[in-house]
Structure 1
Amino acid sequence: MPYRSISDLPDSVRTHLPPHAAEIFVAAFNNAWQQYAGDPDQEATAHRIAWSAVKRRYHKVGDVWMPIAR
């Protein structure tokens, strides 16, 4: 189901991402959720797309997500 805000994200996502990355995750997840409505793998697909969107702007250094220098 779509997320209303960052605080609705699962702990495994919310506690590991910086606020901006979490905003990217929420927006991408919600968009993918709508796009794949009716797909039996809708939630898994939306999560993969959301993580992919985060990884376009952030990379993980050790246990910390850092913005990619542009």
Structure 2
Amino acid sequence: MPYETIEELPESVKNNLPKHAREIYFAAFNNAWDLYSDPKERRGDASREETAHKVAWAAVKNEYEKDENTGRWKKK
């Protein structure tokens, strides 16, 4: 189900990503939720929610990376 606010994101997202990265995740997830509503549009047997989370993480990783020393996400 799409998120109505950034505060509704999973704890793993809220507790690890900076605000801008959470905004990217939020927008990408909601867009993917709509885009992949038809199971034929998804790869394999992935659920709609699973696909939307994968798309959201990929969008975040386009602009952010996890620092190997600190474990914190930072802008590329």
TM-score (norm 1): 0.91
Residues 35-65 of structure 1, C-alpha deviations (whole Å, 9 max, x = no match): 1114261100000000000000000003200
Q: Which has the larger radius of gyration?
A: 2
Instruction: Tell whether 2:64 aligns with 1:58.
Output: yes
3-state SS of paired residue (1:24): helix
How well do the aligned residues superpose, as a CA RMSD in angstroms? Answer: 1.1
3-state SS of paired residue (1:49): helix
Aligned positions, number: 68
- Measure, in 1, the Cα distance between the counterparts of 2:73 and 2:3: 21
- Measure, in 1, the Cα distance between the counterparts of 2:10 and 2:38: 22
Instruction: Tell whether 2:57 aligns with 1:28.
Output: no
- Measure, in 2, the Cα distance between the counterparts of 1:48 and 1:57: 15
AA matched with 2:75: P
- Measure, in 2, the Cα distance between the counterparts of 1:32 and 1:13: 17
After superposing the two structures, state which structure 1 stretch, 36-45 or 2-11, moved more. 36-45
> What's 1:37 paired with?
37
Instruction: Tell whether 2:16 aligns with 1:8.
Output: no
